Each structure stands twice: as structure tokens, then as C-alpha cells.
A and B are shown apart, each in its own frame.
Chain A
């Protein structure tokens, strides 16, 4: 017995532990089978499928407006942006002209969704590393965004606000005032986040230089979103292929070169600032007009294949629809950003300690139902 323990402790043997589906820090039901030598990680193997609901197969038996309610629940933190992807695809296929008012409102709601998702990322990332205060501060401020959603869309998180042809209902009369109040409030609070976590010496020791992802690896593994932009990969869909009202606003794409955990975290904080700038440019001049275009009662896409991509809070979401002329899609495929982001976890966590694995997994910002669909 003593010899066995001595062997393991002397880092001669590799042993395998299981960070099982139920774990406080894997952000959902992700199972990681980790091979360790001492405390150093040698191999990480993710096992997924613990929340695989078969959404792609289900979509083949429902109509296009009903798909909105399922894509909401795929990546629930960017629910509005997921719905926008499907709606834009359907509208592009039917060649419907969307009035300006709808585009501007969709953009404002998307940016609010992005802010709310990054707030939750900040709250849980701090909590994973041990700073429980971040959890309370982040969720306190996130409630203000959810109040805005509740007043206009009717629900806090799963908002089925988009539909093919426009929006479900018009915005509430209080919408502009509440959004402006929130932006003023949050601009003053964001430096507090920096004080609490970004400049903290323990946080910097735990995240600087950990989990480096190089630019070639990011392109080869298909990583997108803030995790890739922190390695220098310019992949923001809002800049390369603008949709909705993104072609009339000015904002910077947040790029860094180092590609470690600290810069993946910093990219999201800076993105929150850019989102607030975008909302500032749009909130005062929402054009007048209808909030929905009249569509046929039964939507049938012409035969063919259609691809649309949008920028969610985690990366590039692609919706690929193959239609054969019926009211149900023949095949629909969601190219989810977290699926490709997860594939890089094994590469970047080699030779770091197991406590760093938690930090790296948190910085990739994975939402497991989007991986499993």
C-alpha cells in the first residue's frame, strides 16, 4: 500500500478521475474524464450527450414559426439572437423586405442579450475561481436587463420575441427610457467589476499565461467568438457580414494577441462596453413604422438550401436549412459555436494543473445544451 501511494505521489503513474455530469463548476452536464500525473493534466476527454434532446430531428415535423420556440432553449443565454438567425434565414429565402424599425429594435435587443450573457459569465467565472461576491454583483445587475425584457417581451429569459416577418408585439412605451437608464447605471458600475476582479492579484496569477490558444489552432479547430478574438482571429460576423442594423453603427472589434485565459475574460468585458456604445447610437432614433410584415398563414420556403450566420455571445451560430417546398424543413442544421469551442479544451489544458482546468473551462464560456442540441 505504501509503495503504491509513493509511486502515484512521485508522479510516476497516470490515474484517471471523472469530473462527472453533476459538478458545481462544469456549467451544466459536461463529463470530463481527466488523466492526471500528480496534479498535472495530461489528457482531457469530454463526454457529452447528457442533455441531447434531438432538436434537429424534432424540427423536421414542425412548421417554421414553431422552430423559434425550440431554438430559444438551445442556447438560452442568447435566446433572442438564436431566434434572429432563424427569422433572417426564412425572410431571406422568401425575399421579404424588413422595415427599418424592426431591424433597429432587433439590434438593440441583441445587444442587451449580449450584455446579459456576459454578466452571467462574469458572475460564474468569479464564483468558479472562488470569489463568491462576483456572483451576487453580477446577478444583481443582470436583473435590470431582465426587467426590460419582461416589460416588452413578456418573459425574462426565454423570450420568443422574433418571428418570421418581424416581431411579436411592439415595444412598450417605457422601453427607451428604461434602456437609457440602464446604460447610464451600468456604465458607472463596470469600473467596479474591474476593481473587484480584473485587477485582483490572485485572479491575475490564476489566469495570466494559462491555457494559451494560438491563431493557427483557433482557425484549424473552428473556434469563434470572444475565445478566438482573444487569440487574434478576426471573426466577428457583425463586421464581416452585417445583418439587421449593424451596417449603420460604428463599433470596434475587440482583438488581443495573447490568447490566454485572462484575455478571453478581458475580451468579454470590453465587448460589454462596445455593446453599450452600439445601443447608445440607436436608442434615440428608433424609426417609426410597423412592427411586423404581413406573411402568409402557412410559411413554405421555396426549394433550395439557405445558410445564415449571426454572432451570438459565444461565437458564430449558423443555421442551414434544406427545404423541399413543404411547410416543414427537410433538414435543419445548427452550427453551434460551443461545439467547436469545446474541441480545443484538450489542446490548451495540457500540462497545467487541475485547478487551472476549471479556469480554462470557465473562460471558454460553454453552454452545454447548445453543444448537445
Chain B
């Protein structure tokens, strides 16, 4: 059956996601929300951004065995203007941090960030005694989903992308702006 066939009730962790759903809007707004979210979550296009080892596992997720085109992530876009999600795969160092921030700023809304691998979550194996590794990409851009592992298996990355899809389902037109308020200028 695989990951795509899992029912919603079987994702037993992250129940707090359901609390994000706004309740009490009128029927028209809810239907419009549902349609927009359905369209967004089923066609997330990632940006080609891979720094080190996790990049190879991300490429392996696009390979025939764990194909992620069946989840809608059909093509990799090279230009940040055309991409929806940036999967930060690999270590970020002090020299690369401004480049990453610039790429994130150049992406157009709605945009999402997935921190893949231990290095992007917290600096990973390079946390201690390294003078140039950024200890977690959260210091630079806001992160939606964390996928642990060193490197995470392709199935783990797919699970992370499905969690991102569930998170997108809970969005509504009114509340999206508030979510990113801590990192955005406006």
C-alpha cells in the first residue's frame, strides 16, 4: 500500500496540526479554502538546492524506486521564482548563509521550507568544535517541517513531505500571513 495509501487517521503524531484548522467560517469560504489548499498541496515544486550528502538522498527520492513525482513534486525548478518549496538538504556554513537567505527571499508566496537531515536541523555531527557551521537553518529562515536522519532515508523524506501536505491543508486565506510574522519584514 505504501505511504500514499495511508489513511489520515493513521498519522498518529502531530495531532496539533488539526488544531490549526480554523473553525467557524462560512461555507463559501471553507469550500474555497479547500479547493485552493488541494491545488497547492498536490503540486509542490521543489527548488534544486543540495549542499552535501543529503542532496544525494534527495536525488534518490526522485529516482525510480521511491519516485516522488507520484506525490505531485514532478519537476525540480532551478529558479527560485518558480519553486514552491525549498528542501534544505545539507550543511549550511557561515559563508553560505546569506546566499540561502537571498534565495528564500526571492521565492514567491506561498513558500515552504523543509529542513532535511541532522545538519539542517541543528548542525548535526558538526555541532561541537566547528567554527563555521550554522547550528540549524532555523537561525536563518523559518522552517515548516523537520526531517531527522543522517542522512534520512528516502521514505523518511516522503513522510516529511506528506506532513507538509497535511499542514498546507489546514491553511486558510486569512491566517497565512500571521504564521510567518516572526521572520518576515511586513
Contact A158 B129 (CB under 8 A): no
Contact A73 B132 (CB under 8 A): no
**B65 partner, pick from A23, A53, A143, beta carbons under 8 A:** A143
| B-side contacts of A156, CB under 8 Å | 57, 60, 151, 153
| A-side contacts of B59, CB under 8 Å | 139
Measured CB to CB, the residues of A under 8 A from B are 20-24, 28-29, 49-54, 57-58, 61-62, 69-70, 73, 76-77, 120, 135-136, 139-140, 142-143, 146, 156-158, 368-369
| B-side contacts of A69, CB under 8 Å | 125
Contact B78 A23 (CB under 8 A): yes
Contact A140 B76 (CB under 8 A): no
B48: Cβ under 8 A from any A Cβ: yes
B159: Cβ under 8 A from any A Cβ: no
Contact A53 B63 (CB under 8 A): no
Measured CB to CB, the residues of B under 8 A from A are 47-53, 55-57, 59-60, 63-65, 76, 78, 90-91, 93, 95-96, 99, 103, 125-126, 128-133, 150-151, 153
| A-side contacts of B48, CB under 8 Å | 22, 24
Considering only CB atoms, which chain A residue lies closest to B55 in the complex? Answer: A28
Contact B50 A50 (CB under 8 A): no
| B-side contacts of A143, CB under 8 Å | 60, 63, 65
Contact A140 B93 (CB under 8 A): no
A131 shortest CB reach to chain B, Å:
15
Which 3 residue pairs across A and B have the least CB separation, nearest first? A139-B63, A76-B53, A24-B78
Contact B95 A52 (CB under 8 A): yes
Given contacts A24-B76, A53-B126, contact A157 B53 (CB under 8 A): yes
Given contacts A54-B133, A143-B65, A157-B151, contact A28 B50 (CB under 8 A): yes
Bound: A29/B153 CA distance, A = 22
Contact A73 B125 (CB under 8 A): yes
Given contacts A76-B56, A158-B151, contact A53 B93 (CB under 8 A): yes
Bound: A53/B125 CA distance, A = 10
A116 shortest CB reach to chain B, Å:
10
Bound: A143/B64 CA distance, A = 9
A118 shortest CB reach to chain B, Å:
14
